[in-house]
């Protein structure tokens, strides 16, 4: 039984290989992710990991840990707070904030932090769960 306050996390260190694979699959070939010279001319000064690739960690936690297999996204809000660079280790944490009694629907706070505990993404997810 899922309860308010239940939490789960997953961590991953993002590599250039991850970014190249995501760019190929998604079609997002933005040079800020793929071209070191271009990225050096931006305010970030180096290549960024795609925000949606980083947010994919949230989906992994939700689908594999909490609420777990069979869960279906109904909604996800994302606020991108800080950049993620190659070599950053990101931890996605989800925490149940609401659990409906009338339907198998839960709301979770979603947060991604880097190895320095800087919040890089925060938001909220709503999922249909298997009972």
Tens digits of residue pLDDT in 31-81: 999 999 999 999 999 999 999 999 999 999 999 999 999 999 999 999 999
- Give the number of other Cβ atoms within 10 Å of residue 30's Cβ: 12
CATH of region 7-128 = 3.10.129.10
Rounded distance between C-alpha atoms, residue 94 and residue 114, angstroms: 15
Task: Record the pTM.
Answer: 0.94
First to last CA, the chain: 8
User: Which of 5, 8, 20 is CA-nearest to residue 86?
Assistant: 20
pLDDT tens for each residue of 16-40: 999 999 999 999 999 999 999 999 9
Cα 36-23-108 angle, rounded to 5 deg? 110
């Amino acid at each position: 039984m899922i309860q308010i306050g239940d939490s789960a996390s997953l961590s991953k260190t993002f590599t250039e290989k991850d970014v190249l694979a995501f760019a190929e699959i998604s079609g997002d070939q933005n040079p800020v992710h793929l071209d070191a010279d271009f990225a050096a001319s931006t305010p970030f000064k180096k290549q960024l990991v795609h925000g949606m690739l980083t947010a994919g960690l949230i989906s992994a936690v939700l689908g594999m840990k909490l609420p777990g297999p069979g869960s279906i996204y109904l909604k996800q809000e994302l606020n991108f707070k800080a950049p993620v660079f190659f070599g950053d280790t990101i931890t996605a944490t989800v925490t149940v904030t609401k659990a409906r009694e009338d339907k198998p629907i839960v709301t979770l706070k979603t947060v991604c932090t880097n190895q320095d505990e800087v919040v890089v993404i925060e938001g909220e997810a709503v999922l249909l769960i298997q009972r």
